[in-house]
Amino acid sequence: MQIEALYSHVSEYLFINFLNTIRHKYNRTTDILEEKDIEEWFALMKERELLSEHQIDKLTEAPISIHDVQSFRDRWRAYLQHSPSELPVDELERKTKDTPLSFEFSSGALVPVPHRGGTDGFLSLLSFVMLQAYENGTFSKVKKCDNPTCLALFVDKKGKRKWCSMKVCGNRMKAQKHYDKKKMES
């Protein structure tokens, strides 16, 4: 399955793209992180310049436990949807200490690279990115899409956004509202 076809949009935030690796469409939930698709997801993140080739090379040096990665994702989705003010930041700190990161200068920026690949390296890298988002206030701006059938999270920078994507959910919800209004008038 083409990974881009699974996304309505891709955000500028690696951790949001990771958290959005599960979606609901046509009354069916799809988990994009299944074994065969994680490499495709890495390739998409590289294409969007959210992961470097060196980071991906390091991450793929060892096997990635999809179960552990899904568990991490699901825990953080729940925290961000239900209690963003009570985030267990110590879990993120522990992950980065368990698998330390080094930094390299690439394309004008410092890029974190885990010392080990596989599951530990991937979760360490994600934890670091999430700690940065927590520190700069991005976590407090994470919202769930107002479309009740959509599972997407997004960063609402201005505090006015309702949908993950205006092209997809926004148009659907507005069209449904208009349809319902016309139906009531009839």
pLDDT tens digits, one per residue of 61-72: 999 999 999 999
Residue 120 and residue 69 in contact, taking contact as beta carbons nearer than 8 Å: no
Q: Cα angle vertex 10, ends 9, 14, to 5°?
A: 160
Q: Give the pLDDT of residue 6.
A: 58
Residue 103 and residue 110 in contact, taking contact as beta carbons nearer than 8 Å: yes
pLDDT tens digits, one per residue of 30-41: 888 875 678 889
The mean pLDDT of the chain is 85
Give the least confident one: 71-75, 107-111, 165-169. 165-169
1 pLDDT band, cuts 50/70/90, is: very low
Give the least confident one: 81-85, 106-110, 159-163. 81-85
User: How many contiguous H segments (helices) and E segments (strands) does the chain have?
Assistant: 7, 6
For 120-152, give one letter per residue: b (16+ CB within 10 A) or e.
Answer: bbbbbbbbbbbbebbeeebbebbbbbebeebbb
Res. 129: pLDDT tops 90: yes
What is the value of pTM for the model shown? 0.86
Of residues 143 and 169, more confidence is placed in 143
Q: Which tokens hold the place of 155?
A: 């960063």
Q: Which tokens hold the place of 184?
A: 């009531």
Q: Give the pLDDT of residue 164.
A: 83
Residue 17 and residue 142 in contact, taking contact as beta carbons nearer than 8 Å: no
Cα atoms in the Cβ-side hemisphere of radius 13 Å centred on 17 = 24
Distance CA 157, CA 140 (A): 10
Mean pLDDT of 148-157: 88
56 pLDDT band, cuts 50/70/90, is: very high
- Identify the structural domains of the chain with CATH numbers, from first to last: 3-185 (1.10.3300.10)
